[in-house]
Amino acid sequence: MTSTAAHPLLEITTPGQPRLVARGLVKRHGATTALAGVDLEIGEEESLALTGPSGSGKSTLLHVLAGIVTPDEGTVALRGRRVEGMSERERALLRRGRFGFVFQHGQLLSELSALENVALAAMLDGEPRAYAEGLAAQWLARLGLAGDQGRRPGEMSGGQVQRVAVARALVTRPDVVFADEPAGLLDEATSREVLRVLVDSTRAIGASLVVVTRDPLVAGWCDRRVELRDGRLDP
Ligand SMILES: Nc1ncnc2c1ncn2[C@@H]1O[C@H](COP(=O)(O)OP(=O)(O)OP(=O)(O)O)[C@@H](O)[C@H]1O
């Protein structure tokens, strides 16, 4: 499942460095300081569980690390290249090609089948349609959804939908996968099933993973766990 698309950001390689490095991140929302100075490094192929109480800044940190939200202060670098210094176009390319996302809900297009949803991510990353559909079919089969390719999100269970979302995030073989309580709306058993698939599949393709989770068992599956409190990482 190798990507054939030439990617303008693929030349970003600095061997030996952590994959993602955040320094001095501060983010304010009006009077609220969501991030109050966060330093974080994420290694090559490392999985990191991001935990902490409600309102502690987990989602904000994930969005800043992923280049979705610009910090008020501080820097984020992917393999040595500053993300917050990129143009909007470069950041969009980065998000589409080098990052994968799994959110709580809403990331699949309801009018498209599971196969089309996954293939679309690969097509947006530059793959031709037939190749993208082949990749999508392989990923769906790998995640136990071989028989569900033609189903739309409304015709699948919550757990199946989130597994399609995992396939969608991984089909571009991203460097880093960001997941914000990706199974937060599911029952505990189904949620853990989805998270297990996410952690294992991310590891299998050599991607790094940042996952926001409240579940200590899931956090235990990750290589490392950090806790945010009032916008700071607990030492
Ligand atoms: N767009 C926004 N506008 C205003 N305040 C915001 C915004 N986004 C986040 N905040 C505030 O910033 C703080 C951190 O929010 P954030 O969503 O990052 O926390 P969280 O740890 O992910 O919370 P939860 O576990 O409840 O999802 C909170 O006080 C929140 O109310």
| ipTM metric | 0.95
Is residue 34 in contact with ligand 1, taking CB distance under 6 Å? yes
**Both tokens of residue 214?**
């409240």
Is residue 117 in contact with ligand 1, taking CB distance under 6 Å? no
Domains of the chain, each with CATH number or no CATH: 44-53+88-226 (3.40.50.300)
What is the full per-residue pLDDT of the chain (235 aa) written as tens digits? Answer: 444 343 444 444 455 679 999 999 999 999 999 999 999 999 999 999 999 999 999 999 999 999 889 999 999 999 888 887 788 888 888 888 899 999 887 689 999 999 999 999 999 989 999 999 999 999 999 999 999 999 999 999 999 999 999 999 999 999 999 999 887 778 888 889 989 999 999 999 999 999 999 899 999 999 999 999 999 998 7
Contact 197, 170 (CB under 8 A): no
Closest C-alpha to 211, from 22, 69, 58: 58
CA–CA separation, 230 and 111 (whole Å): 40
Mutation to probe ligand 1, out of 32, 103, 180, 211 (largest number of atoms < 8 A from CB): 32
User: pTM for this one?
Assistant: 0.90
Torsion, CA 139, CA 136, CA 125, CA 166, rounded to 10: -40
**Both tokens of residue 194?**
């989805």
Is residue 60 in contact with ligand 1, taking CB distance under 6 Å? yes
